[in-house]
Chains A and B, each alone.
Chain A
Amino acid sequence: MKYMMMMNAPGGPYQIDGWSKDDFRAHIQFMNDFNAELTQSGELVGAEGLAGPDQAKLVRAGDSGTPVTDGVFPETKEFLAGFWIVEVESPERAYELAARASAAPGPGGAPLNMAIELREVMSGPPDDLS
């Protein structure tokens, strides 16, 4: 079964901005190691980090048929910072991986305990419908 793990970071200024170089490095190192481990275990389907929310655009088709874009939303409480798609044997394994990602180190090496939203990817085989 495939799951998407969405890493939500607090809104407002990009969280990593104020970090010390060492803290930042430790965080990146953790993410690299985590991804390498998922590759090694044969579970990684894909992973991406997203650019900061101040660069985000919100697009919606307008009445005239032309897309209208808005800037983003300083009031947003949380934004999607990055995601993984993993293929695992059980939901429990997905919870375990999400908990690991949640505990990525932040300032002073303390775990961030970020909210990781876990969603199953629509891929299960259907039963024959009666």
Chain B
Amino acid sequence: MIFIARHAVGDRVRGQALVAHDGFSARYDLDRIHGTFSRPAHKLAGQSYVGKILVLDAAKGGVATAWMLREMAARGRAPLGLVLNSVNPIMAQGAVFGGLTLLAGFDEDITARVPPGALVELDPASRKLEVL
């Protein structure tokens, strides 16, 4: 299965998808020390995001993620990539600043199409998400 995003930035990456129809904010949702989702109400609460390709619904919350993605990468506590139905400027700015691969904006709900745990490849140059 191949899906084309409207927005993309970063390097080509391949990894395991961590999928939920929920939002994403590094400040609101993550324990960045331990590398886990920490907001109790989040559908991925308790799960490790480190080295995973996160497939989520919408960018949420404040502006801190723009700094945090780089800080997480520097400590080896970053996701490998981020895929969103709806992006906001903060995620794009944070991905550019932090060197994270980001794809966003699809014609269908991407969280319903990527199987949890699937191996996926993100290719920003062609704005392509492929389920391998």
> Is the pairing of A and B real?
no
